[in-house]
Amino acid sequence: MSFVDDFVAQIISLEVALFHSRARLQANSNNEALHDLRIAVRKIRSLLRPLRDMPEVAALNQSAAEIGKATTPTRDLEVIIGELQKMGYPRQATRRSATLTEQYRKIVASPELDKLFAELDRWPEMFRTTERAGELVDVKRQIEKALKKRITQLIAGLRDKHFDRHELRIIVKNARYLSDAFPTLSPLNAISTDQLKSVQASLGSWHDHHQWCLRAEAEPDLLEIAPYWKVASEQALADAELKLASLLDHLEKDLANLETDVKSP
């Protein structure tokens, strides 16, 4: 199977996953449906990211971005409900659970989701037309260039001790997802990939707890929990900071090895 064949097959496979997630969300059959839908959307965006400026890719990428944005508030609500249940605050959890079914219904019937499926249906033939025109002969190099650029950007952020940690979290997340989307083209070795995932988890935990503290300022029934979230946020950030130096060291070595490979005859 050629690289383009595999690329198209992955997008089609993710479309199938989206159909299944939408059906489960519509039936409200389990609490992972929205999460799985968002994972499929995220994987589509990661695959498209290096090519997103191509006219044949831009519309699909934009549609995926729109459904990702449209579903974020509901996913955030799911996550905080789970946190409240885990911490033993059923009253606060139940109060927030009351709106979930209606939010699921709105997502299933949303124009953003309809538009995404429409773009997914028309995209393969458009992409194949581009391939037949000879415009994808350099696609692997283009993706490798995007991977190197993202990792170089991450290294720059890691070297700067004053770099905003919210922005760093996003760069870490994008670098990991891009590397996961193209494992055979990524310069990262297995250790670097594992460390990237670990740093993302710590920064994600810090971000979630920080956002819940902010949410408590507007939602009084969360105020009694906010001090615990503040401590957890600080611990998660401290954990992330301990991991950043090691991640930086491994990423620099991976890029150095890549440069050596490129220069070798």
pLDDT tens-digit readout, 35-77: 999 999 999 999 999 999 899 899 999 999 999 999 999 999 9
Per-residue model confidence (pLDDT) at position 28: 87
In this structure, the answer to whether residues 10 and 60 fall within a common structural domain is yes
Per-residue model confidence (pLDDT) at position 257: 84
Per-residue model confidence (pLDDT) at position 260: 66
Q: How many domains does the chain have?
A: 2
Reading the block at residue 10, the tokens are 């992955």
Per-residue model confidence (pLDDT) at position 149: 94
- Spatial separation of the C-alpha atoms in residues 123 and 48, rounded to whole Å: 11
In this structure, the answer to whether residues 148 and 105 fall within a common structural domain is no
Per-residue model confidence (pLDDT) at position 30: 81
Could you tell me which residues come within 8 angstroms of residue 232 by beta carbon, excluding any fewer than 6 positions away? Answer: 205, 209
Per-residue model confidence (pLDDT) at position 261: 57
In this structure, the answer to whether residues 128 and 252 fall within a common structural domain is no
In this structure, the answer to whether residues 168 and 98 fall within a common structural domain is no
The sign of the CA dihedral 41, 167, 72, 223 is positive
In this structure, the answer to whether residues 143 and 50 fall within a common structural domain is no
Per-residue model confidence (pLDDT) at position 262: 53
In this structure, the answer to whether residues 199 and 74 fall within a common structural domain is no
Give the residue numbers spanning the domain of 178.
138-265
Per the CB < 8 A criterion, the answer to whether 187 and 255 are in contact is yes
CA distance to 46, 58, 145, per residue, from 136 (Å):
18, 15, 14
Single-letter amino acid, residue 72: T
> In the chain, which stretches have pLDDT less than 70?
1, 260-265
Residue whose pair of structure tokens reads 């409200």 in the numeric block: 28
Single-letter amino acid, residue 155: I
Per-residue model confidence (pLDDT) at position 118: 97
